Structure 1
Amino acid sequence: MATDQATNQSVEKAATVLSAFLDGRALRVSDVAKHAGLGQSTASRLLSTLESLQFVERDPISSMYQLGPALLTLAGVAINQHPVHREARQAAQNLAGSLGLGVNVAVRQGSSLFYLCNFEGRLAPKSYTLMGQRNPLHATGIGKCLLLALTPAERRDLVPDLHRYTPRTVCDHDDLDAELAEVAHRGYATEIEELALGRSCVAAPILDQSGQIVAALSISGPLSALGLAGGDPDLASTVIEVADSISVGLGYLGPRHTTAQP
């Protein structure tokens, strides 16, 4: 039992060390030790072990560490196992290419959304990928679609406090309920400068075989490129159409109708 506990603690420490690199910066041993709450010698030993397994890399000149290639292998396997990613990847890539905008697919993990796909077109370039990153539910178009799967009470339990990111972020649950009711009615959500100024998106839910919302698809980019402030019915129709095609690929056959019994 003591051996098992020590092994578990070692795994937890290693995971905490790896999490220190989530903001994308190269780190010194002292930086990692501070983040993980470990002594510098312990952090150094863990980093050496992780380096031998290629989970981290050390620059020979600066002696600073960054994440290593073994994590890319694991991430690739993990993402390829996800049924939504397998079904949505090509459709999202094609859409980004044809529109020249960003196209994203995400699922809900706890109180945030988690990106499975992220493709950028010529009008919405990024020097980084969103895949594997997280964003808030209430301040994104995808997140609003994912919140439709929950009742108002469940939403309040999941995200009690709606953080304000910009002056346009919806921070009141009653206001969010009203907006989500409109999203459910029209079949798509919009986000205009609620997470970041100058950015916007339009999103639609993705359903599985049982008709449950399991993911969402968004078209995103600079506010000037999307033109959502004045309304863009063509863009909304496009995101709904592509999201529906992914839902069909996941086995969704449309609303179930019941026959009244005499």
Structure 2
Amino acid sequence: MAIDDASPSADAVPSADTSSEPRGRYTIDAVDNAARILLMLAERPWLRTSDVANELGVARSTAHRMVSTLLERGLLRYNPGDKSYGAGYRLVELGMSVIGVGDLKSEAIPFLAQVAAMTGETAHLIVLEGDEIVFVSVAEGGHVIRAASRVGARVPAHATAAGKCLLAQLSPAEFDQLYPSATLAPATDATIRSRVALVETLDTVRAQGFAVNDGESESELAAVSAPIIDTRGTAHGAISISGPKERVRAARERYVDAVVSATRGLERKIFGRAS
């Protein structure tokens, strides 16, 4: 997707030693503007197109093309509730690699396999994007009848165990931005339907350290999930196991132990977090 900013000509290549040159001589406007948009996220968690236009001094149509390009690359994520943009999963991955905690997706693979082996159920790594969860990677369970891989799928966060785990870690301001309405759209008869009920549920999830989904996203499916939290208390994702509702209900305590154990192990490995 093109951006309305002119780039320097191809022959404007800096020499090996540019220390004596004026700062900004070789700056490419489009790259500079993209960097400035991402750096704005350090001051506020969500941006609107108007914020970007005002900060950069460009037309809103140009700002929209800029954020759309970053969105396509996974560096931003979109919240349809208020049409704002936050840090995307790829940006989070980049930040994690810079500070030396590695790639969450690749680091999670053995822990997903561990949970799948312990329970026989399908295990997913899940991240939060706006008011939805995204299934990132999977280890399928050994049961003949089991939950299928959902990698790439998006589901309303309030209707899932992983979504509730991750929503519970948001600040009040971030939560209010995602859920300004008093009512929530149901996926099944068991889905939480009000903001008040969701807040009460998240208080419980935050206190106990895990969440369950008992037929809330799909009527015959149940799940158990725990968040992946760094040493500063920021949630980067969640591990979730899911399967037929009656089987998960019967083994819930054992499944909770398995998924919490896996997330704690992953936290120790990539964040150095104590148990």
TM-score (norm 1): 0.61
Partner of 2:157: 137
Checking the alignment, whether the CA contact within 8 Å between 1:156 and 1:173 is kept in structure 2 is: no
> What amino acid is aligned across from residue 237 of structure 2 in structure 1?
A
Choose the corresponding residue for 1:167, options 176, 182, 189.
189
CA displacement, residues 155-178 of structure 1 (integer Å, 9 cap, x when unaligned)? 232133521011110011111111
- 1:241 paired to 2:253: no
Checking the alignment, whether the CA contact within 8 Å between 1:207 and 1:252 is kept in structure 2 is: no
Partner of 1:50: none
- 1:102 paired to 2:114: no
Give 5+ residue unaligned stretches, structure 1.
6-77, 256-262
Change (3 A) 1:172 1:152: farther
Checking the alignment, whether the CA contact within 8 Å between 2:147 and 2:244 is kept in structure 1 is: no
Q: Mean Cα displacement is larger for which, 86-95 or 155-164? A: 155-164
Alignment of 1:134-213 (within 5 A): 134-161=154-181, 162-213=184-235
Choose the corresponding residue for 1:216, options 238, 253, 273.
238
Choose the corresponding residue for 1:125, options 146, 156, 161.
146
TM-score (norm 2): 0.59
Alignment of 1:251-262 (within 5 A): 251-254=271-274
Cα distance in 1, alignment partners of residues 205 and 232 from structure 2: 20
**Runs of 4+ in structure 1 over 3 Å off:** 124-127
Cα distance in 1, alignment partners of residues 147 and 208 from structure 2: 30
CA displacement, residues 44-100 of structure 1 (integer Å, 9 cap, x when unaligned)? xxxxxxxxxxxxxxxxxxxxxxxxxxxxxxxxxx9xx88211111111023213321
Choose between structure 1 and 2: higher helix proportion: 1
Q: Kindly, what percent of the aligned residue pairs are identical?
A: 27
> What amino acid is aligned across from residue 157 of structure 2 in structure 1?
L
Checking the alignment, whether the CA contact within 8 Å between 2:138 and 2:151 is kept in structure 1 is: yes
Give 5+ residue unaligned stretches, structure 2.
5-92
Change (3 A) 1:148 1:252: farther
Q: Mean Cα displacement is larger for which, 181-190 or 201-210? A: 201-210
CA displacement, residues 117-165 of structure 1 (integer Å, 9 cap, x when unaligned)? 12221324356x3112211110000000110121344323213352101
Q: Secondary structure at the match of 2:257?
A: helix
Change (3 A) 1:4 1:164: closer
Count of residues paired in the alignment:
180
Choose the corresponding residue for 2:111, options 91, 114, 128.
91
Cα distance in 1, alignment partners of residues 241 and 146 from structure 2: 13
